[in-house]
Amino acid sequence: MSYPDIYGPIDAVYQQRYADNVRLQVQLTRDPFDGAYEIIPNARGREIQAVDLVGKSECLFDQPDDAPTPNIPPSHEGIYAQPRKMNWGRLIKRGDEIKAAVDFQSIYVREGAAALVRGKAKLLAAALVGPRLIRNDNTGAINSVPYDQTNRVIANNYQYGGGGATAGLTVQKWIKAMEMLGKTDLDVDTEDLTAAMTMKENTDLYNQLQVTNMLYVNRAQFEEKTVKVFMGVRIKIYNYLPMDPTGAYRQIPMWARSGLHWGDFEPLATFLERNPSLNFQPHAYLEQWGGATRSEDEKVVLINCDPTVQ
């Protein structure tokens, strides 16, 4: 028996079992943004169009019969996403048998799958506030447009009527966010709305709904110690939300599902081989390519919250 096979050969059956168990763990691991984004179909290549935004076009009136047929320039633009590589790998210890390493409950399966799910969530969260790629379908010009931190953000000290102090997440900020979404062409009654927040902001909201003002209790859905739905907006707990450009305030996004997009550019690939550069130790490796973008700033609102306020 050769030295690399002391702990068992890496047969095709183990490679397939590892691939199947990793994929199953990915499916069973909770996606923090599950149901809060649209899927980009057939995502392939270095760049993919996520959605075609149709702008406002006007018709002509009372053209003479002998006038040429109008050719009105298009007023739409393409929103594009670029893929990012997510990978994870780990050497399998000499004392671990290959059969045990590829088991459904193995750390090499569970930790790798969880890492990829967390990576996907980070890309989705970044897409809500990061720049988006826009290509004018008429001229072909491509622009990278940053998020509008001036007009699409609710100040940390917002209070109806003004005069507010630094605060965490409040009901007044929540209502203002829904108002900002409703002031656009977005129909808040028919759209699926979602908000992501850390446990700190969820506690802020919980205290106001359950303790401070009992009038809101019937408008919220509670599960154990967290608020899951308030005023028709689903709440996702995600503790890695970005800070504002100054680094002082955490930004809580509220968005419409139709405004956030995800594409699987390359399916999950699994590898289980002996690494010749590391003394032929068995090496587990996972790789996946995915990309996310938002389509319209009007479908996203950020709520600045002071994470230090108790």
pTM for the structure as a whole: 0.82
Residue whose C-alpha is closest to residue 198's, from 128, 250, 125, 244: 250
- Tokens representing 171 are 């009901």
- Tell me the C-alpha distance between 281 and 276, whole Å: 7
Residue whose C-alpha is closest to residue 132's, from 43, 260, 251, 36: 260
For residue 193, is pLDDT > 50? yes
Please write the tens of the pLDDT for every residue from 267-276: 899 999 888 8
CA atoms within 13 A on the CB side of 28: 12
Please write the tens of the pLDDT for every residue from 167-190: 889 999 999 999 999 988 778 888
Contact yes or no for 179/160 (Cβ under 8 A): no
Please write the tens of the pLDDT for every residue from 7-37: 456 778 888 999 999 999 999 999 999 999 9
For residue 288, is pLDDT > 80? yes
- Burial letters for 78-108: b for 16+ Cβ neighbours within 10 Å, e otherwise? bbbbebbebebebebeeebebeebbbeebeb
- Tell me the C-alpha distance between 139 and 53, whole Å: 15
For residue 5, is pLDDT > 60? no
Q: What is the CA radius of gyration of the chain?
A: 25
If residue 49 lies in a helix (H) or strand (E), which one and from where to where?
strand 48-54
Secondary structure of residue 31 in the 3-state scheme? coil
